[in-house]
Amino acid sequence: MYKKVLTLCLLLFSINSFAQKRQNIYYFKNGMLTSNKETADYRRVVQEPDSGSSLFPVFEFYSDNTDKTIGLVSKYEPNLVFEGLVKRFNKKGILTEELNYKNGKLSGKAIYYYDNGKVKRELDYNENVKVTGVSDHVFSRLINEYDSLGNQNIKDGNGSYICSGKELTEQGNYKNGYKDGVWKGLVNGNAFEENYQDGRLIAGTAHTKEGKTIEYTVAEEYPNYPGGIGDFYKYLGRNYRFPSEAQKNGVRGRLYISFVVEKDGKLTDYSFKNDLGYGTREEAIRVLDRSPKWNPGKQHGIPVRVKYNININLAY
């Protein structure tokens, strides 16, 4: 009898310990936070760190409760800062990515899969290497690459590569994991030709649909505000008018905003990761609408639409 009682007590203790583990739950619709969990596309569960750890376990689930993302983060607001292995799944429950992170940046081995579950490519990311002309946000070496049937095109960093997408197609050779020699392709119907040596872009030429020829030495350029991002924040500081209702209600904090820098440098498609209310969002839209045009982002010499994130610190 004593043994049964002891076993029951241990079981109840385990159940209570699990139940008391604190967690935050967030719901998302079209990538934005929502308070309506019934119409949410997915939910995010952030648990308190395990004993002896400073990392928060994160689980994301599609609306039908199938896995979307599994990983650990060192920070979860306003954005997730991943650490270590992160796994992502499609809506059919098939693994699509196995990525390693360090301080929120890709680091080390990464494996991408087709929606049928077959391996697509394997890369090695190095966040400490910066090479002019390389398109990846974080520098990487391509190790292996396969087609959707499992046929291997790149082995141990060597072979021929063909990418066919809606907006970008390109083809060329890899040597020791890096682009090498002549590469050709199309960006939104505009042709380009580039010459690489050990992953470094030597020269590129784009021929637009309008008949223009563009010479360049950087394969991917991010959009930027004339004078730099510091000048953009100065513009916001000079022109953002703190709504009187927000002042009366003691509003404080940051507005986290995403927008698109169009091909002509105009800002569009604003989305907010939070809402402080009392007209603060509307005022941000007004100021962004009136912003001087940015220098657009470019891909293979061709202007392209690029998403950009900022935050506005509200204080008076």
Domain at 246, CATH number: 3.30.2420.10
Segment 183-209, tens digit of pLDDT: 999 998 999 999 999 888 999 999 999
Predicted confidence (pLDDT) at residue 128 exceeds the cutoff of 80: no
Look at residue 138 in the predicted model and tell me its pLDDT: 64
Please, which pLDDT band fits residue 260 given cuts at 50, 70 and 90? very high
Predicted confidence (pLDDT) at residue 9 exceeds the cutoff of 70: no
Look at residue 16 in the predicted model and tell me its pLDDT: 47
Distance (Å, whole) CA 177 – CA 36: 46
The mean pLDDT of 116-143, rounded to a whole number, is 77
* 30-34, 96-100, 267-271: range with lowest mean pLDDT: 30-34
Predicted confidence (pLDDT) at residue 35 exceeds the cutoff of 90: no
Predicted confidence (pLDDT) at residue 107 exceeds the cutoff of 80: yes
Task: Answer whether residue 170 is part of any domain.
Answer: no
Task: Quote the domain boundaries for residue 236.
Answer: 229-314
Task: Answer whether residue 299 is part of any domain.
Answer: yes
Look at residue 17 in the predicted model and tell me its pLDDT: 45
Task: Answer whether residue 168 is part of any domain.
Answer: no
Q: What is the mean pLDDT of the chain?
A: 88
User: Between helices 229-239 and 280-289, what is the axis angle to 10°?
Assistant: 120
Look at residue 132 in the predicted model and tell me its pLDDT: 52
Predicted confidence (pLDDT) at residue 226 exceeds the cutoff of 50: yes
Task: Answer whether residue 121 is part of any domain.
Answer: no
Q: What percent of the chain has pLDDT over 70?
A: 90
Predicted confidence (pLDDT) at residue 133 exceeds the cutoff of 60: no
Task: Answer whether residue 174 is part of any domain.
Answer: no
User: Of 165-174, 250-259, 288-297, where does the model show the most confidence?
Assistant: 288-297
Q: Which residue has the higher pLDDT, 275 or 202?
A: 202
Segment 36-65, tens digit of pLDDT: 899 999 999 999 999 999 999 999 999 999
Task: Answer whether residue 285 is part of any domain.
Answer: yes
Task: Answer whether residue 300 is part of any domain.
Answer: yes
The mean pLDDT of 255-276, rounded to a whole number, is 92
- What's the total number of domains in the chain? 1
Please, which pLDDT band fits residue 316 given cuts at 50, 70 and 90? low
Task: Answer whether residue 304 is part of any domain.
Answer: yes
The mean pLDDT of 112-124, rounded to a whole number, is 95
